[in-house]
Amino acid sequence: MLNFFKVRINHGSQAIKDIKKATVNDMHRGFPVVDEAFCLEKCEDCINCCPTGAISKSPLSLDIGKCVFCGECERLCKNKAIQFTNYHKISTTDRQNLIINKKLSYDDFNNNSIKIRKDIIKIFKRSLKIRQVSCGGCNACEMELNACSNVNFDMGRFGIDIVASPRHSDCILITGPITENMADALEDTYQCSPNPKIVILAGSCAISGGMFAKSNAINREFLAKYKIDLYIPGCPVHPLTVINGILGLLGR
């Protein structure tokens, strides 16, 4: 028995100790700084190169709900009107917040991105069981969601778990653009999960259709029917974006 404890102590803790203060690698593309004042030539190279139509002009804006974080616009803009930071806490409760259209600091975004809702905090603050529905994406968002529960990120320590059945869930978390073939399954999953429940969209595909937005094979009627409680941008989503976003929604 003593040996068992020794081994356990030697292992130490592999989980990130303070998930809120954890940072990500400099190479990670997260929150973009968009500053129209630097857009001197009005060349529109950024708009023309964007594969998802995430950039608009007048005013220059970048929709991180559509962006797949390829970095091409940043690379093409000689004047640095668009620059990605590695800031990863980019989840929000309001879709409009994802349209970055002025020089916004990281802190400005963070302070206003999540609106606390007392009804959610009252019921789910200490425990949230998630049924994840993969609706036709590339599987990268799903892999990152798996990583949320590994020993490094250890989302389970906050009482947030992914469960196998919608009957046991408090939350439907959608990844992928919602293909026609998954539309009924998503609706069934929603109906099978007990009330009250919350709905989360994770990844550019789920939020806007992403690279597949113009495809005839998607059916996004579900999103018009039900309230979305949290948007988690990314392509794919980063585990720290997911966990911090959900903790924010739960008022923690």
Both tokens of 139, joined, read 């599987």
Contact residue for ligand SF4 among 69, 87, 153, 231 (CB under 6 A): 69
Q: Could you say whether residue 60 binds ligand SF4 (CB under 6 A)?
A: no
Quick one: angle between helices 239-249 and 140-148, nearest 10? 60
Q: Could you say whether residue 99 binds ligand SF4 (CB under 6 A)?
A: no
Contact residue for ligand SF4 among 176, 209, 245, 248 (CB under 6 A): 176
Integer Cα distance of 207 and 219 in angstroms: 13
Contact residue for ligand SF4 among 16, 71, 101, 251 (CB under 6 A): 71
Q: Could you say whether residue 203 binds ligand SF4 (CB under 6 A)?
A: yes
Alpha-helical regions (H) of the chain: 2-11, 45-49, 72-76, 106-113, 118-124, 140-148, 180-192, 204-208, 221-225, 239-249
Cβ 249 to ligand SF4 shortest distance, Å: 19
Cβ 191 to ligand SF4 shortest distance, Å: 24
Q: Could you say whether residue 236 binds ligand SF4 (CB under 6 A)?
A: yes
- Label residues 10-44 b or e (16+ Cβ within 10 Å = b): eeeeeebeebeeeeeeeebbbbbbbbbebbeeeee
Distances (CA, A) of 131 to 64, 140, 185: 24, 17, 12
Cβ 225 to ligand SF4 shortest distance, Å: 22
Q: Could you say whether residue 33 binds ligand SF4 (CB under 6 A)?
A: no
Which residues are at the interface with ligand SF4 (CB under 6 A)?
A: 49-52, 54-55, 62, 67-73, 137-138, 140-141, 175-176, 203-205, 210-211, 235-236
